[in-house]
Structure 1
Amino acid sequence: MKTVHVAAGIIRKDGSDELLAVQRGYGGMQGLWEFPGGKLMRGETPEAAVRRELMEELQVKVTNLRDFYTVEYDYPDFHLSMECYYCSLADESGEPQKHDRQLDIRWIPRASLATVEWMPADKGLIEALIELKEDRLEASTSGDGDPATTDEPATKPKRKTKRRSKKRPKPGLLDGIDTSDLSADERELVRRRAAIKKSMKGNKRANTKPELLVRQHLRAAGLTGYRLEWKVPGKPDIAFPGRKIAIFVNGCFWHRCPKCNPSQPKRNVEFWEAKFRRNVERDRAAVAALTQMGWTPITIWECELKKDRIDTTMEKVIEQVRAAEPQR
């Protein structure tokens, strides 16, 4: 199924909790409400797409974009992957203007979002927004009254000065992101999204520890003529083109290992279920295509490479590779 990548901007009206929504004026879903945004152009980042789309749709300039939510939804003809950003109207920006392809635009209080009919893909996002608590931090102001009195002595004993650690503190997930206008719950959504992105960036696509272990055992067995990420369906981690053997070394979490049944995140469940489903479908399609081409696909799961299982696992793999006659 084709994946359509979209970015949307959630604009809050200055000084209130009203969010800007637009009513679609075209197509089979005409009349339904959504947040402004649109498809990413080739080579365009989601942030750039939000800025461009909102300028084209509403004639507004937005700033302070903060990624906080991803919508993953299967329509009959395509899969929608939509990055959602909190954003603010720039100081020099005017009021939003309705586009010809929109029936209406409206500032809707967050608690009243469910009073209009939303696009099917947006319903999970709307529920998440409604559940957020409104506890934005207000700047503390000192009163004109007398300061509180205490029973503490006027002078306190001096404390021993502690040596400062030379180690620099690790950067936080929200460093460099202005969240002063967000509630605690909203900041938490932004933080979680940043954590997910950091986790994904940390995942190697090649030369992972499990892959290196498999290659080490293959070389020890005298099987050295393999290729990495060979250009056949699925781009197997290790391939023996002459023998038509394709080896996939799969991480249990990302590819949903049927042997150890890894846990699933309890938050943003819709996002993770869709992501895992696409991974599994992609793996199955690659195996089916390779089999049809006369290749032998072998899947090695990360849990099968633990110290107490790796020898048994690799004995079976080596036996399969040796049994395949090299083709000329």
Structure 2
Amino acid sequence: MRTVRVAIGIICESADTDRVLAVRRKRCGSHDLWEFPGGKIERGETAEQACVRELEEELHVHVGDLRDIYTVEYSYPKYHLSMRCFLCTIKSGCLAMTEQIEIRWVERASLSELCWLAANSDLIEVLQSCSLKSRKSATGQVEHYEDGEVRGNLQDEMIRRRAATRKTMQANKRSDTKPELLVRKRLRKAGLTGYRLQWRDAPGRPDIAFPGRRIAIFVNGCFWHRCPHCNPGVPKHNVEFWQAKFRRNIERDARAITELRALGWQAITIWECELADARIEATMARVIDTIRNARRSS
């Protein structure tokens, strides 16, 4: 299993909010790639305190108006990165390089012209989508631009996206989903009762388990578990986050099935699309036959 590295990324806005600060560090194999200032949270400090400390140590500047706006989730080959991103402004100090090869103020609209570390790709897209048109007036009102659009500012847009992602994930029920209820109804109709729900004593915590027959049933949502039959799409925003989430789900599913087989269990995966009206009869006939033919353990 890959380790998880927790980090912070700091997006420093210029006074007119149209530019952000980018840096290139002296990194092995990636010194040509751009990123945002940041680093690791040290023991005993908050993420906000880490932002202030990192910028003082690395760039010799003092910042203010720190706002927690986004979280990057990205899986590299050897580890998974979870990076909290903060928006801020520089209050005092003179930019100086310590571990950097180059420091540059970059127009938001031009961010994609630079070569960035892979984990920053979705964040760059969000920053660009909120350029210029997103600025608020001194009175706090959203300004209207020549194309007539009204856009929320950068902070509002990123917080909105993060809230939308959280709402979507919270709506994903752990148990008693509609597909599960359909499967259980068909099992009871076939006289197959005595099963356990969300059974913790079996690897992967199967949605439905027959311990005596050593049968574990997983009723998987096509979107969350990436169905191989209907190939569900990927959200267009925060793509790296969703891809990392899906990879972890797939890896966890595969690990559970491997562990079940090692214990002599038979794992059955039922996909949500297999329970559609045109397919449910064939799907449940297959599942019921498998359960009935399973030899009971002594």
Same fold, judged at TM 0.5 (above): yes
Q: What is residue 17 of structure 1 aligned with on the other side?
A: 18
Q: Report which of the two structures shows the higher radius of gyration computed on alpha carbons.
A: 1
Deviation by residue 1:276-302 (Cα, 9 ceiling, x = unmatched): 233223322322332233211100111
* Mapped contact 2:6–2:81 kept (Cα < 8 A): yes
The offset of 1:252, in angstroms, is 1.0
* Mapped contact 2:197–2:208 kept (Cα < 8 A): yes
Could you state the TM-score of these two structures normalised by the residue count of structure 1? 0.69
* Mapped contact 1:68–1:191 kept (Cα < 8 A): no
Q: What is residue 248 of structure 2 aligned with on the other side?
A: 278
- Matched residues in 1 for 2:172 and 2:42: separation? 26
Q: Are residues 213 and 268 of structure 1, via their aligned partners in 2, closer, same or farther at CA, if it must alter by over 3 Å?
A: same
Q: What is residue 37 of structure 1 aligned with on the other side?
A: 38
Equivalent position SS for 1:34: coil
Residue 244 of structure 1 aligns with an amino acid whose one-letter code is R
The offset of 1:251, in angstroms, is 0.4
- Matched residues in 1 for 2:265 and 2:297: separation? 11
Q: What is residue 69 of structure 2 aligned with on the other side?
A: 67
Deviation by residue 1:77-101 (Cα, 9 ceiling, x = unmatched): 223343434x2349xx654876965
The offset of 1:115, in angstroms, is 7.1
- Matched residues in 2 for 1:33 and 1:261: separation? 34
Deviation by residue 1:228-283 (Cα, 9 ceiling, x = unmatched): 24243322222222322111110011112222332332334444334323322332
**Match among 276, 287, 290 for residue 317 of structure 1:** 287
**Match among 131, 134, 147 for residue 133 of structure 1:** 131
Equivalent position SS for 2:232: coil
Deviation by residue 1:27-53 (Cα, 9 ceiling, x = unmatched): 5545754223345689x9xxx53x132
Once the two structures are overlaid, the 10-residue window that deviates more, 95-104 or 284-293, is: 95-104
* Mapped contact 1:67–1:194 kept (Cα < 8 A): no
**Match among 119, 122, 132 for residue 121 of structure 1:** 119
Unaligned runs of 5+ in 1: 141-177
Q: Are residues 96 and 240 of structure 1, via their aligned partners in 2, closer, same or farther at CA, if it must alter by over 3 Å?
A: farther
Residue 67 of structure 1 aligns with an amino acid whose one-letter code is I
* Mapped contact 1:230–1:239 kept (Cα < 8 A): no
Aligned: 1:53 with 2:50: yes
- Matched residues in 2 for 1:129 and 1:102: separation? 22
* Mapped contact 1:71–1:125 kept (Cα < 8 A): no
Q: Are residues 260 and 138 of structure 1, via their aligned partners in 2, closer, same or farther at CA, if it must alter by over 3 Å?
A: same
* Mapped contact 1:32–1:118 kept (Cα < 8 A): yes
Residues 222-301 of structure 1 correspond to what in structure 2 (within 5 A)?
Answer: 222-301=192-271
